[in-house]
Structure 1
Amino acid sequence: MRQARRAAETALGIWLLAGAGAAAAGAAWLPLSLPPRTESTWVLRDARVNGLPMQVLELRSQLSADELLAYFKRDWRRYGGSVAPLESEQGPWRKLTLQQDPLQLVVQVEKDGSGGSRALLSQMNYRDAQRDYVPRNLPVLTPLQVTQVSETRDGPRRSQLVQLGGEASFEIIQQRLRQHWSRAGWRAVFDRAAPGQRQWLASFDKGTSSVDIVLTQAGPREPLALTLNLLEGEP
């Protein structure tokens, strides 16, 4: 369950920062190069967020934010095109965007407090975007609305992280979720409510499929937040 929560936070953060990323099979990604004194970690290798294919790298660099942005301005010239990268700012992040149809490259950079910088480097494939990206096996959870669906693949393992929110009864949504998977023959492997809090953590499985659930509400009159992590295939 801890992994599901971390995945939810990561996916939400990327969506808020990048403004947009189910596995992008066959996506023709641009080759990316990195500046010196810079380390990278994959956040999303081949994924979809709300139907949009996306790759995301997290960068940790000894270069300053100015140096890092200057590097990508120079490096992206190799892709050609008549449109120069567009610079913008979003809170503490400085953003550089290049449109290379059907792909869009985005790097978002901020200072790290020690003279270096950190960044998110992403590219998105708009030609391969899917409209019907909400999983069809979800229970009816009206009036909650789906706010984000992030899909990734790791070999035969497929993960769909679904986030929902809205005004609804904590108890009714909890009951619907329990009944939906129990009636479909899924086994409850974890079911725990935090004492004195409106928080419920649960996990169900069936064969090689499983679902992790995080349901929270700050107070009786506050909106609900629901995260479902649907996994299919052998781990």
Structure 2
Amino acid sequence: MLVQRCEAFFGLRGVGGSILLWLPLVAMAGLFSWPSPPVPPETTTQDVAHRIIFNGLDMRAQVFKSQQSPEAILAFYRKVWREQVVVNQMGNEQVIGHREGDYFMTIQVSASGSGSRGNIGVVDVASAPEHFVPGKGIPTPMDSKVFNDIRYPDDPIPTRMIALKNKLSTQQNVSFYRERLEGEGWKPLNDSCTSSGCVLDFQRGDQKMNLVIEPQKNVRSQIVMTIQNP
């Protein structure tokens, strides 16, 4: 599951606070008073996490597979939500969004074989913090941009994932984190680099940290940091 989350996390491109840029990459599992979007016929769902806190916003998550086409999925939700929707195209994926009270819901769908697959996302808009600082308490090189900070507080092992980018090279970032984390009491466990990037593992007491550092085209490096028991 953590590997799948990491892969999805690298795809996040949250900028300017636009909900539609990042909600399609997570999904929802109805719980207590949370709204639960209806599911089209011939569609199965699977929980991603009991609870997600995305950049300070409380969320629920599921993924789905369906024998229906993406067009049929979108048509279903247009009808259910009586055209009170916003539709965006993101590459080969389509996203339909709808607000219901304090909650904003999105359905992200793409073709899969003769049917479709995607994510359903619900965020509690009312839970938005006034002064959320992504990456707070996490060491970052100067001029780094932390663009996503996700917590899984109710997982068997609570986990936090931070994504950032900067103009340093992969090796410059590796040097920064080796020195800084060891100075903060983190013990290095694993250190491996290839032409596609570097993976660093550290431990401090019952805390574990994994860093994946990859070179990028538009920025010199992008980093995903996963901390267990943060």
Q: In which range does the TM-score fall when normalised by the shorter chain? A: 0.7 to 0.9
Aligned partner of residue 46 in structure 1, secondary structure: strand
Q: Does the CA-based 8 Å contact 2:50-2:154 persist in structure 1?
A: no
The amino acid that maps onto 2:85 is P
Counterpart of 1:8?
Answer: 6
Aligned partner of residue 181 in structure 1, secondary structure: helix
Match of residue 63, structure 1, among 51, 65, 68 = 68
Aligned partner of residue 173 in structure 2, secondary structure: helix
| 1:54 is the counterpart of 2:54 | no
Counterpart of 1:80?
Answer: none
Larger Rg: 1
- Segments of structure 1 that go 5 or more residues without pairing to the other structure are 78-82
Q: Does the CA-based 8 Å contact 2:135-2:146 persist in structure 1?
A: no
Counterpart of 1:173?
Answer: 173
Cα displacement string for residues 153-191 of structure 1 (whole angstroms, at most 9, x for unaligned residues): 234522111111121143332222112221222221112
| 1:90 is the counterpart of 2:95 | no
The amino acid that maps onto 2:220 is P
Segment of structure 1 superposing worse, 174-183 or 210-219: 210-219
Counterpart of 1:228?
Answer: 225
Aligned residue pairs: how many? 218
TM-score, normalisation: structure 1: 0.78
The alpha-carbon distance between structure 1 residues 201 and 57, as it changes in their structure 2 partners (threshold 3 A), is same
Alpha-carbon distance in structure 2 between the residues aligned to 1:201 and 1:158: 21
| 1:110 is the counterpart of 2:128 | no
The alpha-carbon distance between structure 1 residues 72 and 211, as it changes in their structure 2 partners (threshold 3 A), is same
Counterpart of 2:27?
Answer: none
- Segments of structure 2 that go 5 or more residues without pairing to the other structure are 24-30
Alignment of 1:1-235 (within 5 A): 6-13=4-11, 18-20=20-22, 28-76=33-81, 84-114=84-114, 116-130=115-129, 131-155=131-155, 157-194=157-194, 197=195, 199-217=197-215, 223-232=220-229
- Across the aligned residues of Structure 1 and Structure 2, the Cα RMSD in angstroms comes to 2.9
C-alpha deviation, 1:63, in angstroms: 1.6
TM-score, normalisation: structure 2: 0.80
The amino acid that maps onto 1:123 is V
Q: Does the CA-based 8 Å contact 1:43-1:57 persist in structure 2?
A: yes
Q: Does the CA-based 8 Å contact 2:60-2:121 persist in structure 1?
A: yes
The amino acid that maps onto 2:146 is V
Identity %: 18
